[in-house]
Amino acid sequence: MFRKTLLRRACRFLVPCGLLISPLSFAQPVERIVKVIVAPDHPDWTYKSGEKANFSVSVLQNGNRLPKVKIKYEVGPEKMEPTKTETLTLENGQRAIDGGTLKGAGFLRCVVTAEVEGKEYRGLATAAFEPTRIAPTTESPRDFAEFWNAAKAEAAKVPLDAKMTLLPERCTETVNVYHVSLQNYREGTRLYGIACVPKREGKYPAVLKVPGAGVRAYAGDVAMAEKGLITFEIGIHGVPVTMDNSVYANLGAGPLNGYMFYNLDDRDQYYYKRVYLGCVRAVDYLFGLPQFDGKTLAVTGGSQGGALSIVTAALDPRVKYLAAYYPALADLTGYLNGRAGGWPHMFDSKNAAFNAKKDKIETSKYYDVVNFARLVTVPGHYSWGFNDETCPPTSMYAAYNVIRAPKELLLAPETGHWTYPEQVEKTNAWLVSKLVGAPKAEGK
């Protein structure tokens, strides 16, 4: 009865409010007085290979089309040089553009820039061509599993040394909030995060919240914990997550600027080794909490956090569910094969001169989300849009398509690197149903 009541309350309060992942966690587009609306002529934005895609373009102000607007448009495969460019005037504020087609699976993007009163306004739309047929360009190293099994075994030898500091000013009547420090994959290295634990005696499911890119403080998710879930929101950079924002700004602009490229020439020293293993250490921490039910654990995040959700689920069989928004770090070698690759675009035209070298390319394969996606065995919920310019949909589908575990994909085609509230609500509902509705461990 308690579990059914908890599920009803969780679905009532958690989902509408977006407490598992807030829409504000991701950068929403800024509204401007002039809007450039671009859309493919198929309602689902999806086409067959060889089928022509037309794009409609409208330039609006106050909801009305602007006449005699000068525009420039570019059409081509996403993130690649355009194959068609033209400048023209929209006599009545709208126009259809022949976008052509793709002969194979992929994405064709139309970017439109309008000039109004000396200012430029931009809009885009991306047509999908048989995206479920997109195959990865990266290859899994023969010793991929051995490399990561050895790395986990080595990390497991390091004492966890977890330290929890109560943060009274963040606690509520029903939840204790802690700043957590634990030892990462090597002695002397630390992982920090915010744990929110229900005060009421009992055993609870848990959610590991893994972060997007950048350097910042974290608040933890008190609201979720108030509904009967343990949450652990971690940082990845080995620094406390409760400092003044100016500290993170200085770190991001200084020693941690470009961290995603650090030691890319060495698979054992690459920056993300501490990050991926740190996620496993965070799971160790949750399994050591006496309030945890010992079984029901999910991992979730967006962008870099979407990548880390897939990686953690692949590396640690104790993870039972994952929910990932627009995962980064997928199919990194796409650019070396004439198409878009995943964030951080280490091999695109801007970075190739420095990074497109044999040792760095080989290292990337050990950290590419595609190669972790091949190993995922647990149910996953995924969500993204076709207009994402940070994590190209080509790269995300390259990872998604190799997943053989049960999976659900919630598409919002016109979204970029952001989410609609409805995406968050549906993802949260899925997570809550799995976590709160899942059976407890034996003897718990």
Which pLDDT value is given to residue 443?
40
pLDDT tens digits for range 5-51: 333 333 333 333 333 444 334 567 888 999 999 999 999 999 999 99
Average pLDDT (187-200) is 97
- 309 within 8 A of 331, measured Cβ to Cβ: no
Buried b or exposed e, range 105-139, using 16+ CB within 10 angstroms: bbbbbbbbbbebeeeebebbbbbbbbbeebebbbe
Does residue 120 have a pLDDT over 90? yes
Average pLDDT (208-228) is 95
Q: Which of 303, 309, 364, 383 is catalytic?
A: 303
In the DSSP assignment, the letter for residue 29 is P
Which pLDDT value is given to residue 27?
66
In the DSSP assignment, the letter for residue 131 is G
- 193 within 8 A of 218, measured Cβ to Cβ: yes
| Partner residues linked to 203 by β-bridges | none
Instruction: Give 324-337 as a DSSP string.
Output: EES--S-SGGGGGG
Which pLDDT value is given to residue 10?
38
**Residue 348 falls in the annotated catalytic set:** no
Which pLDDT value is given to residue 405?
98
% the chain with pLDDT above 90: 89
**Residue 368 falls in the annotated catalytic set:** no
- 210 within 8 A of 165, measured Cβ to Cβ: no
Instruction: Give 51-89 as a DSSP string.
Output: ---EEEEEEEETTEEPSSEEEEEEEEETTS--SEEEEEE
**Residue 388 falls in the annotated catalytic set:** yes
The full set of domains in the chain, from first to last, is 2-29+135-435 (3.40.50.1820), 34-133 (2.60.40.1930)
Q: Which of 221, 331, 368, 388 is catalytic?
A: 388
Instruction: Tell me if residue 126 falls in helix, strand or coil.
Output: strand
Which pLDDT value is given to residue 177?
98
What is the torsional sign of CA 236, 319, 161, 268? Answer: negative
Which pLDDT value is given to residue 1?
39
**What is the value of pTM for the model shown?**
0.93
Token readout for 64 is 């009305």
Average pLDDT (272-295) is 98
